[in-house]
Structure formats: C-alpha cells, structure tokens
Amino acid sequence: MTQPSAPPSPPPSANRLAGETSPYLLQHKDNPVHWWPWGPQAFAEARATGKPVLLSVGYAACHWCHVMAHESFENAETAALMNALFVNIKVDREEHPDVDQIYMSALQQLGDHGGWPLTMFLDAEGRPFWGGTYFPPTARYGRPAFTDVLRQISAAYRDEPDKIAKNTDAILDSLRAASAPAAGESLGPQELATAAARIAARFDPVHGGLKGAPKFPQCGLLEFLWRRGLREGRPELRAHMTHTLDRMCEGGIYDHIGGGFARYSVDQIWFVPHFEKMLSDNAQLLELLALAHLDTGAALFARRAAETVDWLQRDMLTEEGAFAASLDADSEGHEGRFYVWSAKEITALLGAEDAAIFNRFYDVTPAGNWESGNILNRTDAGAISPEDEGRLAPMRAKLAAARARRPPPGRDHKILADWNGLTIAALACAGGALNQPAWIALGAQVFETVLRQMTPGGRLVHSLCAGKRVGPALSSDLAAMAKAALALHEATDAPAYLAHAARFLDTLEEHHRDAASGAYFLTADDAEDLILRPLTSHDEAVPNPNGVAVDALMRLAAVTGKELWRTRADRILAGLAGAVAGNILAHGALLNAFDTRLGLAEVTVVGPRAPELKAAALALPFPLRALRTATQADANGSDSLMAARLAAAPEGGAAFVCIGERCTPPITDPAAVRETVLDLLTQGAMN
C-alpha cells in the first residue's frame, strides 16, 4: 500500500515509531527496540547490514501483544539482542492487513495455526523462512524462550544460507499455490442445503456457536444457516442463529453495562470474554440482531441492537465523525479491569436490597465468578420479565455512571474504511428493519465523513489516523463501502448512493481483478509491491471481500436492471466455487453470496402508495431482498426497466417482485408484499 511522505529518518540507532500515527505503533515508540515501520527503508537496512528481519505484527486491542511487549520489547537486555541481530519491523495489522495476511498465511504453511502477536523472520527481500506467535521470556509450556529463538535464528541465517533459501522457496511456492483459488462447479440449492446440514452438525445445541472453545461469533455461518432454514422450511436451522445470539446476548461476552460485544469467549458458554471490543464484530452482530428480531419478535434482540448502537455513538465516534477501530482488552495494566465488579462495589452503589436483586440476575458472588471479580452475565438467569427488566435498568445506569469514572481501556482511533462500511450498512439495515430512522441518519453521516476525508483525489484509501492516510483502498474497503452505499440507498431512496456503489465496484474491477480466477486481489495493482498479491476466499475477522462484493454486485443489478453487475458476480463465484466447496466452514461470506445469487428477492415499489409498500418490504429479512423506489425521474431517464414498471403500475401504485427468473404480477396491497415474497423465497429453495 502506498505510504505518504515520511518525516526525516532518525539516527540509525533510534526507535523510528515516534513519527507514526497508528495507536498500536505509538504504544511501542518508547521501546528500547530499534523498531522500523513497514516500508522499503527497513529492507534496505537489512540488505546493507546483512541481518535478517524480525517482523512483529499486532494490534492495539490485543492482550497477548501487550504481554509480549512488557516481557520482551520493554526489556533492555532482550531489546539489545534484537537490535544486534535483526532489523526489527513493527506492523499494525489493521493498518496493513495485506502484510498481515501474507505473513500469517506463511506461518500457517509452516504448520502453525497462527494468531497475534505474529512473529516472523524474513530475509532482506521480505521472504519468510520461519516464525511463530507469542514467545515467552523464559522457556515454558513447550514454548522456547524468545532470546533463545533470536540467537538460533540469527545463527541459522548466518551459517546456513542454503537451508534458509530452501525454506523461503518452499514457503513462497506454498503461498503462491494458496493464492490461486480453485474454480469448480457452481453451487446450486442442493449443494447449499448439504453445506447447511454439515455446518449445523458442528453447532453446539446447548450454548450455540460452533462446538468447543474458544467461541467466536461466526456471523457469516450464522446468517447462512438462517437463510437456508427459511428457504428450506427448516426452523431448526434458523434457530441456530437465534439461539446463539440469545446465549451471546445474555453471556459475559456482552457488556451488560455499556453495550457492545467483546471479540470472543475463551470458553464454550460465552462467559469469559477476551475483553477487547472490535468495530468489525459489532457491525456484523448488529445486522444479525435486527434479523433475529424480525424473525422472532423477541424484545431481547431489539434491546441489544439499541444498546450496541448507543455504545457506537458514545464510545466509538471519533472527532472526524467516523468510527474508531477498537477498544483495548486491558486497562491499568490488567485485562478486563474496566469491566469486572466486586460484590462489595455493587452493594455500595445500589444498596443492600437492590444489590441482592441485581446480583441474583447477573451472577455476582462475594468470592467472584472469574479470578477475584465478577463478570456480569445472565447465562443462567432464565426468562426475565419486562417488569424485572424495568427494575434492573436504573441499577445498570448507576453502575454505568460509576464505571465511567474508572480509567478506560485505550481506544484505537484509527478509521478503517472497510470496518466503517460494514457498520454503516448495519446501521442502515437495522434502522430500516427496526424503524429507527436515527440509526440510518447516523450511518449516512459516517458515510459522508468517509467520502469527505478518505477519498483524496476521488479514490478511497484504507485508513485514516491523525491526518495520515494509508492507501489505496483494499478490496475489503471498496466492497464494504459499496455494501454501505446500497444499504443507505434502500433506506433513504437517495439516488446518489447508487452512483457511489457503482464507482466503488468499478474501482474494484479496474484495480483488483485477477485475470486468472476472475476474483479480486486484496491489494490494488498500483499499491506497494509485496512478495505476492494476496487473494483469498475465506473469511477472517471481516467477511471475505469477494463474498461482500458478489452480494453488492447482485443488489446493484437488482435495483438498476443492468446485467453487467450480475455478470461480474457470476464470474467471481465460478472462480471460487471449488475453494468454497472444499472448506465450507471458512466461507460464510461466499456461501451467503451464492445464496443471494440464487434467490435474491428484487422488490420495486412505485406510485402514490410507494411509502406503504416500501414499509412492508422493509419488514422483510434484508439479506434476502433488494429494494428500490421508482420515481418519475426514472420514467424520464435512461432506466428502461424502471420506466416500464412505472408505466405498468395501477393508478394507486404497486410493488413488483422478481426472484431468479420469476416475477409476480403487480402487488397493490402492502399486506400481501411480505406473504408473496416469503412464499417465493421458500418455493425456490430446492429448485
């Protein structure tokens, strides 16, 4: 990715991170390690000195990144060894997800599952030859001491160049093979039904989510099971999503005082969170909460959605007017300190009588339920009546006021275009589904901020932090912002959003297309050269950009009637079908994209009754429908499909519905819109 002009280089012996803006890099600016930021200067230094490169990748909210920093990077003796033997590069994985993806994939080629902190050893050309994740200061639990690793790697690099070269060649060959997605037969309804059954068999029937620990939300898989459950008339598949969300909403992974979800649970019951809060996770969960409420009518899901939006507004909006990336897991040097309570504190704040009630619902004990404190959760509280909810609300407000006086976790105020795009789309979709126009307005406000501050020269960048822009955009940024634009168009009818979506998707096509597979590389063709251009099909912390792009292309085709967009979607799906079929658990976004391609309900409302018809369409599950309001401007413009629908509509207006290759007669009764669309969605499931 292209870097902006850098400040003058400091002396060779200095830590070079003070001039960076990334909060994660600035956490390390005072380390005695002679850190370099990612860039060609560091590799030039490696070539000039003959030293190998130590690449350390992490992010601001990563607990074990902090641990390794305290144990090793802040230790003068360890730092002196690093400085003597290596050129040391520190990377923020959120600022450079392209770099992170390449070297995380390299570690996985070495047989390691990976994770952060990521510690990789490279030659002077950036080619990896060995690596790991967290290394302790002394050998323990089967992990070698970090200083022993440093000495051994340095000696091997110096004394065994042939072995190092063999390792780099083998890893690069594996990376190139992994970056060539497997084409295959297109996945039809039967293949998707089989995939859903296989995924469902891996789900925990008691606690929800995939069986075992740790537990991550796996939003893409949850949505896929819900989609297939509706299409196949199998409520037990839909229940995997709603049951999982219910357990998460009541578990310790949810912040019952301030709203929002932690990154994951270290156990299998959603009880002990890894306390960091990521914007990307909460964006995806907000969409699912709104979908679950549409499906079940359960007040819990609507309440958690509203609380999560409150958290976004209160804690995550930056001065620029967009959303920050994350909140740290640690505060005051301890993981979770900001979120954990003692029974004594709660009694002092609420009084004995209210504290006894609160503690019963939230699993608070004098001895603590985690270490020596209490993680608030309602896992075993059972059904909670509206009356009890009303009584608990002011108690939570008192605790929130008290918690606000604690030293807060650090906030990574970096603005990421892809994470903001996902959040904007979630606000627009959830706002429409739950009749919350303020959420839609918030999404529109953030969208305008991203356009205004992150498109210098008219082209989107990946991140913005303290005035520093890192770009050009990744495919994840362009796909997510196209998704955001389309969601805002549905919610507001503003035609400008369609133009924005088309521009983002055209940029994807121009700068990211892989001629061999038809899918999109993560990096642009004019971005900074890396050892290879990453192209993956699987999901990571965010849904795979190819899956997001296909969904956006299909929606743009639906609301414009232009087959160009559908043709691109078909090309991508054909290029990645083999990879999806070979590992369904890793491909939630693309499974959903196949489902969208096979059965997206295209709804156009026209005429005087358009507002009523639109309201009925907004009550449909938003992942399964694309919505457009046709106006007289469409009749007078170049959109022949919209003009034809306007001309064919009865005097009072109508809704036109098409799914696949089937269209209904005009629907004039708003009450019939939902019934008609749901009938069509189900009928097409197994055709």
DSSP structural state of residue 314: I
What is the predicted pLDDT for the residue at 642? Answer: 65
Residue range 124-183, pLDDT digits in tens:
999 999 999 999 999 887 789 999 999 999 999 999 999 999 989 998 888 888 777 777
Tokens standing for residue 635? 């009749």
Radius of gyration of the CA atoms of the chain, in A: 26
What is the mean pLDDT, run by run of 10 residues, along the chain of 687 residues?
A: 45 81 94 96 95 94 88 95 96 94 90 88 94 90 88 93 90 82 81 96 97 96 97 96 98 98 96 96 98 96 98 97 95 92 98 97 96 94 91 97 96 97 98 96 98 96 96 97 97 94 98 96 94 93 96 95 93 95 96 95 89 90 91 63 69 86 86 89 59
d(CA 562, CA 565): 6
Instruction: Note the pLDDT tens digit of each residue in 239-296.
Output: 999 999 999 999 999 999 999 999 999 999 999 999 999 999 999 999 999 999 999 9
Burial class (CB in 10 A: 0-12, 13-18, 19+), 74: middle
Q: Give exposure, 254-281, as e/b (b: 16+ Cβ within 10 Å).
A: bbbbbbbbbbbbebbbbbbbbbbbbbbb
The predicted model scores a pTM of: 0.92
> What residue spans define the domains of the chain?
23-178, 189-331+412-599, 339-405, 601-683
**Residue (of 622, 621, 595) closest to 224 by Cα position:** 595
CA 483 to chain centre: 13
In the chain, the amino acid numbered 124 is A
For the beta carbon of residue 163, count every other beta carbon within 10 angstroms.
12
Tokens representing residue 629 in the block? 């309001």
pLDDT at 173: 87
Nearest to 510 by CA among 521, 499, 498, 496: 521
User: Of 601, 589, 582, which Cα lies nearest the Cα of 519?
Assistant: 589
Q: Shortest CA distance to 120 belongs to which of 39, 45, 27, 57?
A: 57
What is the predicted pLDDT for the residue at 5?
Answer: 41
pLDDT of residue 685: 45
The conformation of residue 535, written as its DSSP 8-state character, comes to -
Task: Count CB-CB contacts under 10 A for residue 406.
Answer: 12
C-beta pairs of 368-372 under 8 Å, 24+ apart in sequence: 368/342, 368/343, 370/252, 370/271, 370/272, 370/336, 370/340, 371/340, 372/342
Count Cβ atoms within 10 A of the Cβ of residue 453 and give its class: 0-12 exposed, 13-18 middle, 19 or more buried.
Answer: middle
Q: Counting every residue, how long is the chain?
A: 687
pLDDT digit string, tens, across residues 59-71: 988 888 988 999 9
Q: What is the pLDDT of residues 347-361, one digit of tens each?
A: 999 999 999 999 999
CATH number of this structure's domain 23-178 = 3.40.30.10
Q: Is residue 230 within 8 Å of residue 595, measured between CB atoms?
A: no
Only one residue has tokens 């932690």, namely 262
CATH of the domain spanning 189-331+412-599, picked from 3.40.630.30, 1.10.3720.10, 1.50.10.10, 1.10.10.10: 1.50.10.10
Q: Which of 345, 332, 321, 334 is nearest to 371 (CA)?
A: 334
pLDDT, tens digit (0-9, with 9 covering 90-100), for 603-661: 989 888 889 999 999 889 999 999 988 876 665 655 666 666 666 777 888 998 888 77
Q: What percent of the chain has pLDDT over 70?
A: 95
DSSP line for 604-661: EEESTTHHHHHHHHHTS-GGGEEEEE--HHHHHSS-HHHHHHHHHS-TT-EEEEEETT
How many CA atoms are closer than 13 Å to the CA of 378, on its beta-carbon side?
19
Backbone angles phi, psi at 91, to 5 degrees: -130, 135
Alpha-carbon span 22 to 94, nearest angstrom: 9
State the CB neighbour count (10 A cutoff) for residue 3.
Answer: 15
